[in-house]
Amino acid sequence: MAIKSVCYQTVPPSEIILVVDGPIPGVLDHEICSLADEIEMLKVIRLEKNQGHAVARQTGLKAASNELVAVMDSDDIALSTRFEKQLEVFRKHPEVSVVGGLIHEFVDEPSNVVGVRMVPQNDREIKSYMRSRCPMNMVTVMLRKTDVQKAGGYLDWYCEEDYYLWVRLALKGCCFHNIQENLVHVRVGKEMYARRGGWRYFKSETTLQKYMWRHHLISFPRFAYNVAGRFVVEVIMPDKLRGLIFRKLLRR
């Protein structure tokens, strides 16, 4: 459904690059081969072993022949006007490097929406929001390849490669924009929110907050506040309560 939703855009892409991150089940591999035969613009890149989101996305970005590149995950569904609306923003605002939007998170069927992740609209609001939380929904973004590559491209950072990229782009003076509409239906597991915790997750986020502080994106009081809040939610808080907090306070 993800690839078909890209094919049926009101402004269709000139190419689709699918990065297969390591070995996959035979049934899924057969489906990909069938899609490649059916869709002429589909280019499949296979990585011998699983290397994670950052490597897979950087591989796809490098292989893209266009300056404007849209990102999506394999089980998401793009709304048919997504590319049209994003291209219109780039046309009106040539200074912008990344255009994203809102997401509807669903379980089983797109109609079963369990969360809506809201993000701020303009560059000033996005950079202010960035001081405390990730300001873009990665699976909605369309970005300027040249600007992303100048910032170092996608780099590995446990569960935070997207946030890390936005921070580096901000440090380069790049501009952001979020369309205040749902652009992508995102499939989630029933326990996804509750799993966003644990020591490894907390350490990864803390290290990124330290990076932001050392590069003067945030002050030390803001750094301490961000880390303290994350410690409570990600380490101390029980999984069920954390899931409730994400659904009720960090989503709409």
Distance CA(110)–CA(115), nearest Å, equals: 11
pLDDT tens per residue, range 59-113: 999 999 999 999 999 889 999 999 999 999 999 999 999 999 999 998 888 889 9
pLDDT tens per residue, range 30-61: 999 999 999 999 999 999 999 999 999 999 99
The answer on pLDDT for 21 being more than 70 is yes
In the prediction, which pLDDT does 58 show? Answer: 97
Distance CA(211)–CA(148), nearest Å, equals: 18
- Spatial contact of 137 and 102, defined as CB atoms under 8 Å apart: yes
In the prediction, which pLDDT does 195 show? Answer: 63
Closest C-alpha among 45, 96, 71, 59 to residue 186: 71
The answer on pLDDT for 120 being more than 70 is yes
pLDDT band of 244, cuts 50, 70, 90:
low
In the prediction, which pLDDT does 172 show? Answer: 97
Copy the structure tokens of residue 78.
């793009």
Out of 1-5, 104-108, 205-209, the most confident range is 205-209
**CA 220 from centre of chain:** 27
pLDDT band of 240, cuts 50, 70, 90:
confident
Copy the structure tokens of residue 206.
């803390």
Strand 77-78 relative to strand 175-187, pairing: antiparallel
In the prediction, which pLDDT does 247 show? Answer: 62
In the prediction, which pLDDT does 237 show? Answer: 82
